[in-house]
Amino acid sequence: SMERAIHADKLSMIGQLAAGVAHEIRNPLTSINGFIKLLKDSQAKEYYYEIIESELKRIEFITNELLILAKPNAIRFQKTCLRHLLEQVIELMSVQALMSDVEIVCEWMADEIFISCEPVKIKQVFINLLKNGIEAMPDGGVINLIALKENESALIQVQDQGCGIPPDQLAKIGQPFFTTKDSGTGLGIMITYNIIHHHGGTISIESCESAGTTFSVRFPLKEEVWSTT
């Protein structure tokens, strides 16, 4: 089992991001260009329209994901009941979990945990983590969601029994566009990291190949922290 904290050197991240965006958007653009040329004298117009449409959707999806990153200052903090928030997330993910035969089991090691956050953004964090957990268990299994208080932090762990992450890939998790999935964007963990970072929190991964992966997310409990931001 290997553990590492996810953090990012800002400058190298911007460079990687720019290169990644250019690459990810150039591919569908090149293909759209090609198919538009083919359309001019083709019988199979419908087929080409479909490809063009799906390539445009991919560009739209990627730019939407990137726009989330571009608005870090818009956070409106409010006192939020973590349990209530996580229950809403589980509800949102229940259909996808059911379809993959995954059960999400919650363990509350504290009665009430309140954090200062923008709920929509923190929901996005746990949607991303649960989605990855479900995708790591194509044959089903259990995801444990554990919430507790640890020192001055709220600690939330998302624990799956999925494929795990090979040690040589662990350092790449969270780099823009790093994905091992055919239809992945490789933006989920980076967006997750960014949201957590802007809330004064941390995220780390621990993974054991073919045994499972645990993401640990920590948020400060003290509300004074936010009075200066």
Binding residues for ligand ADP (CB under 6 A): 128, 132-133, 136, 160, 162-165, 173, 178-181, 184-189, 213
Stretch that binds Mg ion, among 33-41, 79-87, 143-151, 187-195 (CB under 5 A): 187-195
Give Rg (Cα) of the chain.
20
Which H or E run contains 42? none
Applying the rule CB under 5 A, the residues between 98 and 137 that interact with Mg ion are 132
The amino acid present at 225, given as its one-letter code, is V
H helix intervals, 100-214: 119-135, 167-170, 188-198
The amino acid present at 85, given as its one-letter code, is L
Report the DSSP beta bridge partners of residue 78. 117
**Least Å from the CB of residue 178 to Mg ion:** 10
Return the one option of ligand ADP, Mg ion, none that residue 185 interacts with (CB less than 5 to 8 A, by type). ligand ADP
Nearest residue (CB) to ligand ADP, 54 versus 78: 54
Residue whose CB is nearest to ligand ADP in the complex, by number: 188
**Least Å from the CB of residue 69 to ligand ADP:** 12
Return the one option of Mg ion, ligand ADP, none that residue 163 interacts with (CB less than 5 to 8 A, by type). ligand ADP
Nearest residue (CB) to ligand ADP, 189 versus 220: 189
Question: Two tokens at 8?
Answer: 């990012």
| DSSP per position, 21-41 | HHHHHHHHHHHHHHHHHHHHT
| Dist. CA 170–CA 32, nearest whole Å | 34
Return the one option of Mg ion, ligand ADP, none that residue 179 interacts with (CB less than 5 to 8 A, by type). ligand ADP
The amino acid present at 88, given as its one-letter code, is Q
Return the one option of Mg ion, ligand ADP, none that residue 154 interacts with (CB less than 5 to 8 A, by type). none
**Least Å from the CB of residue 36 to ligand ADP:** 28
Strands 102-108 vs 141-150: parallel, antiparallel or unpaired: parallel
- Which residue in the set 188, 201, 212, 220 belongs to the binding site for Mg ion (CB under 5 A)? 188
Taken in order 82, 88, 92, 96, the sign of the CA dihedral is positive
Return the one option of ligand ADP, Mg ion, none that residue 66 interacts with (CB less than 5 to 8 A, by type). none
**Least Å from the CB of residue 103 to Mg ion:** 20
| Dist. CA 217–CA 155, nearest whole Å | 6
Residues interacting with Mg ion, by CB under 5 A?
132, 188
